[in-house]
């Protein structure tokens, strides 16, 4: 769906630019494509990292209180 929207916008913008600027054609760098792999953060990895850092922070701040 996003690929179709991006390609449609590219085509419409190309036509509009050629009409407004009175030129023959414009060069399109690249058409849209469907990603081959997932983009974004790994939820499991960042959950483990946050848990570890949270445990480390708790140990750092609670150790003086528990040791006295």
In the chain, where the domains are located: 2-67
Sign of CA dihedral 43, 48, 53, 54: positive
The pLDDT value given to residue 64: 73
Q: How is residue 22 annotated by DSSP?
A: T
Averaged pLDDT in 10-residue chunks for the chain of 68 residues: 90 88 83 84 94 93 74
The pLDDT value given to residue 17: 87
The pLDDT value given to residue 68: 64
The pLDDT value given to residue 48: 97
């Amino acid at each position: 769906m996003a690929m179709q929207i991006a390609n449609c916008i590219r085509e419409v913008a190309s036509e509009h630019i050629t009409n407004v600027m009175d030129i023959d054609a414009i060069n399109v760098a690249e058409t849209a494509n469907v990603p081959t792999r997932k983009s974004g953060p790994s939820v499991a990895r960042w959950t483990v990292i946050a848990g570890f850092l949270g445990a480390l922070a708790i140990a750092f701040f609670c150790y003086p209180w528990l040791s006295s």
